[in-house]
Structure 1
Amino acid sequence: MSGSLQSQYLEMDLLRLTTAGSVDDGKSTLIGRLLYDSKSIFEDQLESIQRSSQQRGDGQINLALLTDGLRAEREQGITIDVAYRYFATPKRKFIISDTPGHVQYTRNMVTGASTANLAIVLVDARHGIIEQTCRHASIASLLELPHLVLCINKMDLVDYQEEVFENIKKEFENFAAKLDIPDIHYIPISALRGDNVVEKSENMPWYQGGTLLYTLENVHIGSDYNHIDSRFPVQYVIRPQSDQYPDYRGYAGRVEGGIFRPGDEVIALPSGFSTRIKSIDAMDGPVEEAFAPMSVTFTLEDDIDISRGDMIVKPTNQPQVAQDIELMVCWLNETPLAPGAKYALKHTTKEARCVVKEVRYKLDITSLSRLEDGAMLALNDIGRIKIRTTSPLFFDSYRKNRGTGSLILINEFTNETVGAGMIL
Structure 2
Amino acid sequence: MSTTLPSTTPAGTTLTETTLLRFATAGSVDDGKSTLVGRLLHDSKSVLVDQLEAVERASASRGQEAPDLALLTDGLRAEREQGITIDVAYRYFATAARRFILADTPGHVQYTRNMVTGASTAELTVILVDARNGVVEQTRRHAAIAALLRVPHVVLAVNKMDLVDYEEGVFAAIAEEFTAYALELGVPEVTAIPISALAGDNVVEPSAHMDWYGGPTVLEHLETVPVAHDLAHCHARLPVQFVIRPQTAEHPDYRGYAGQIAAGSFRVGEAVTVLPSGRASRIAGIDLLGVPVEEAWTTQSVTVLLEDDIDVSRGDLIVPSKDAPATTQDVEATVCHVADQPLTVGHRVLIKHGTRTVKAIVKDIPSRLTLDDLSLHPHPGQLVANDIGRVKIRTAEPLPVDSYADSRRTGSFILIDPADGTTLTAGMVGESFAAPEPVKDASDDDGWDF
TM-score, normalisation: structure 1:
0.92
Residues 138 and 366, structure 1, Cα contact 8 Å, conserved in 2 = no
- Paired residue type of 1:167: A
Alignment partner, residue 134 of structure 1: 140
Report the equivalent of 2:262.
256
Distance in 2, matches of 1:5 and 1:233, equals: 20
Structure 2 residue runs of 5 or longer lacking an equivalent are: 9-13, 431-450
Counterparts in 2 of 1:61-140, with a 5 A limit? Answer: 61-140=67-146
1:300 aligned onto 2:306:
yes
CA distance in 2, matches of 1:366, 1:139: 14
Aligned equivalents of 2:56, 2:174: Cα separation in 1: 34
Structure 1 340/106 Cα, relative in aligned 2: closer, same or farther at 3 Å? same
Q: Distance in 2 between matches of 1:190 and 1:343?
A: 45
Give the corresponding residue for 2:433: none
**Contact 1:125–1:155 (Cα < 8 Å) also in 2:** yes
The answer to which of 278-287 and 5-14 deviates more is 5-14
On the 8 A contact 1:138/1:368 being kept in 2, the answer is no
RMSD: 2.6
* Contact 2:7–2:300, Cα closer than 8 Å, also in 1: no
Counterpart in the other structure of 1:376 = 382
The structure-2 alpha-carbon separation of the partners of 1:86 and 1:152, relative to structure 1 and needing over 3 Å to count, comes to same
The match for 1:346 is 352
Q: Is the 8 Å Cα contact of residues 135 and 366 (structure 1) preserved in structure 2?
A: no
| Matched residue type, 2:150 | E
Which of 257, 260, 273 is the equivalent residue of 1:267?
A: 273
Residues 200 and 290 of structure 1: CA distance in aligned 2, closer, same or farther (over 3 Å):
farther
1:207 corresponds to 2:213: yes
Residue 314, structure 1, aligned to residue 320, structure 2: yes
Instruction: Report 1:10-409 matches (<5 A).
Output: 11=16, 13-225=19-231, 227-283=233-289, 285-372=291-378, 374-409=380-415
Seen in structure 2, the aligned counterparts of structure 1 residues 180 and 6 have a Cα distance that, compared at 3 Å, is: closer
Any stretches of 5+ residues in structure 1 without a counterpart?
A: none
Alignment partners' CA distance in 2, 1:77 and 1:10? 41
1:226 offset after TM fit, Å?
5.9
Cα distance, 1:283–1:88 mapped onto 2, change above 3 Å: farther
CA separation in 1, counterparts of 2:189 and 2:231?
15
In the alignment, the residues of structure 1 paired with residue 337 and residue 392 of structure 2 have an alpha-carbon distance, to the nearest angstrom, of: 14
Deviation at 1:373, TM superposition (A): 5.1
1:394, distance to aligned residue in structure 2 (A): 0.3
Distance in 1, Cα, partners of 2:355 & 2:371: 30
- Give me the identity figure in percent: 57
Deviation at 1:271, TM superposition (A): 2.9
What SS does structure 2 have at the residue aligned with 1:177?
Answer: helix
Q: Is the 8 A contact 1:20 1:27 kept in 2?
A: yes
State the distance in 1 between where 2:233 and 2:248 align: 35
Aligned residues: 423
Closer/same/farther in 2, CA of residues 282 and 34 from structure 1, 3 Å limit:
farther
Q: TM-score, with normalisation over the residues of structure 2?
A: 0.87
Is the contact made by 2:179 and 2:190 (CA closer than 8 Å) also made in structure 1? no
1:5–1:407: structure 2 CA closer, same or farther, 3 Å change rule?
closer
SS at structure 1 position matched to 2:421: coil
Which residue identity lines up with residue 106 of structure 1 in the other structure?
T
Counterpart secondary structure, 1:36: helix
